Amino acid sequence: MMGYYLQLALRTLRRNIVLTSLIIAAIGVGIGAYMTVLTVLLAMSGDPIPEKSGQLFVPQIDLWGPNTRPKGAAGPVRLPDQMTYRDANALMLAHAAPRQVAMYSVQLDVSPLTGAPYSQQGRATYRDFFAMFQAPFKEGAAWSAKDETDRADVVVLGKTLAARLFAQRSAVGQTVSLEGRLYRVTGVLEAWSPMPHFYDVSNNPFGSGEQFFIPFTSAIGHEIDSNGNYSCASLPPPGWTGKLTGECIWLEFWAELPDAAAVRSYRQFLNNYSAEQQHLGRFHWPPLVQLSNVHQWLALEHIVPDEVRVNSLLAFGFLAVCLVNAVGLMLARFSSRASEFGVRRALGATRGDIFMQCLTETAVVGVLGGVLGLGLTALGLAANRASLGGELAEYTHRLTHLDPGVMALTVALAVGATLCSGLYPTWRATRVQPAWQLKAQ
């Protein structure tokens, strides 16, 4: 029977090409616009590290006091979203978590063997970073623990930089000149750029990733300045020592806590640490700490700009109008065929038969609308990418490349939406009383 209904559907669509095209157009345009916006929203609010997002945590300590926060604000407390060197270092030394990193963003000049020097984004971090955030290695590995304690000049390169410097050769064991110093390469990563750049959202959540990683201890030893945010509630002492001893925040800190027990004990540890700092006279307000996993962190930091949410709402309104339009058109279509349905009923079709026939037609229209919607989504994303440019283009770029998941979602959404719109017209069609139709002749 389904084959019959499909045959009928295709035939009817062909014979009423104008009306059918209008319905398909209405659905396609609505889906296209909505999927364009939804894709951006999904990309920005996606889980960047699904396997571990429940195990990676950001601790925050109330270093600046309630006076620096807006009074009477609702929702979670906005504590400083980075750490001072003092606290980050203390937490690293305390080893309260099985894996932990303190790190900061750096920008250094690479001096290749031939050609002019150029600057690159990098990160000063601990070796646990790679395991914690699942950075995949193409060759080699992270530096050793001894390298870390020795403050050795070693580096892990990103795929692009390694290719630029060493072409096809193996980079492990080679040296790279950064800021005039020679660093030994211990490993090269595969292309890796989690979206959003969740481990450092305060600086550049949607930017391209870093191309080199050096040990934190080594960077501090060379007094390499941070390239990221640097915020102070009060003036630090001058000079590099000021950076290390002052109350300015400029470091990111992450801890890996594998289960609920670990989380509890870490929270306890944080509370103790905070209370201890208060006793030491560092601050005078009640100690307050916060521990957030990846999801909570992204929400706290408002990763998805409200603008994108607004766009999604408006695009949904647009889709709704298109669907209402489609309902009207489908009603018109089915009512003009009331006599056909009456005849079929007279010849022995049950209400269910008529329902399935109309539903099949609707589904076919839905699929066609979905295909059109897919094309329009690709167009929309390309236009969006072209107009956005810069860093935001990077992540939409991923999705304009025929991601099968998005494609499936688009068509499914189109078919689903069309079926919903078609429910009422289809139901109306089954209500045709064969007797009336024939009498009215």
Q: Looking at residues 317 to 346 of the shown chain, list those that interact with other proteins (rule: CB under 8 A).
A: 317-318, 320-322, 324-325, 327-329, 331-332, 335, 339-340, 342-346
Q: Does 116 bind other proteins (CB under 8 A)?
A: yes
In terms of phi and psi (left: phi > 0; alpha: psi -120 to 50; beta: otherwise), the region of 95 is left
CA distances from 202 to 11, 124, 244, 252, 347 (A): 58, 16, 20, 9, 70
Binds other proteins by CB under 8 A, chosen from 2, 261, 347, 402: 347
- Min. distance of Cβ 417 from other proteins in angstroms? 15
- Min. distance of Cβ 342 from other proteins in angstroms? 8
Residue 293, beta-bridge partner list:
57
Cα angle: 414, vertex 416, 418; to 5 degrees: 65
Residues 6+ apart with CB under 8 A from 431: none
Binds other proteins by CB under 8 A, chosen from 75, 180, 281, 405: 180
- Min. distance of Cβ 420 from other proteins in angstroms? 14
Run of H or E including 232:
strand 231-232
- Min. distance of Cβ 56 from other proteins in angstroms? 26
- Min. distance of Cβ 346 from other proteins in angstroms? 6
- Min. distance of Cβ 55 from other proteins in angstroms? 31
Residues 6+ apart with CB under 8 A from 128: 99, 100, 101, 256
Using CB under 8 A as the binding rule, the residues of this chain from 366 to 405 that contact other proteins are: 383-384, 387-390, 392
Phi, psi of 223 (to 5 degrees): 55, 45
Q: Is the dihedral of CA 107, 109, 112, 115 positive or negative?
A: positive
Residue 415, beta-bridge partner list:
none
Q: Which is nearer to other proteins, 140 or 425 (CB)?
A: 425
Using CB under 8 A as the binding rule, the residues of this chain from 151 to 170 that contact other proteins are: none
Using CB under 8 A as the binding rule, the residues of this chain from 266 to 325 that contact other proteins are: 305-307, 309-311, 313-315, 317-318, 320-322, 324-325
Q: Which is nearer to other proteins, 56 or 429 (CB)?
A: 429
Binds other proteins by CB under 8 A, chosen from 99, 123, 197, 243: 243
Q: Does 197 bind other proteins (CB under 8 A)?
A: no
Instruction: Report the distance separating Cα 334 and Cα 336, nearest Å.
Output: 5
> Which three-class secondary structure state does DSSP give residue 51?
coil
Q: Which is nearer to other proteins, 167 or 347 (CB)?
A: 347
- Min. distance of Cβ 419 from other proteins in angstroms? 17
